[in-house]
Amino acid sequence: MLDGGTKFEEMIWGLIKIALGAMGVLYVVEVLRIHARSDESYRSTFRRARSIHFIERLLIWAGVVLIRILVRLIRPVLDTLAEASADVGERIVARRAASARKPEL
Of 50, 28, 32, 29, nearest in space to 41 by CA: 50
pLDDT reported for residue 5: 64
pLDDT digit string, tens, across residues 36-76: 777 665 444 566 777 888 888 899 999 999 999 998 889 88
Estimate the crossing angle of helix 48-101 against helix 3-37, to 10 degrees: 170
Under 8 Å between Cβ of 89 and 3: no
pTM to 2 decimal places = 0.36
Residue 3 has pLDDT above 60, yes or no: no
pLDDT reported for residue 42: 44
**% the chain with pLDDT above 90:** 17
Rounded Cα distance between 83 and 77, Å, is 10
Instruction: Report the number of distinct structural domains present in the chain.
Output: 1
pLDDT band, residue 22 (cuts 50/70/90): very high
Q: What is the domain range of residue 47?
A: 3-101
| Chain-centroid distance, C-alpha 79 | 14
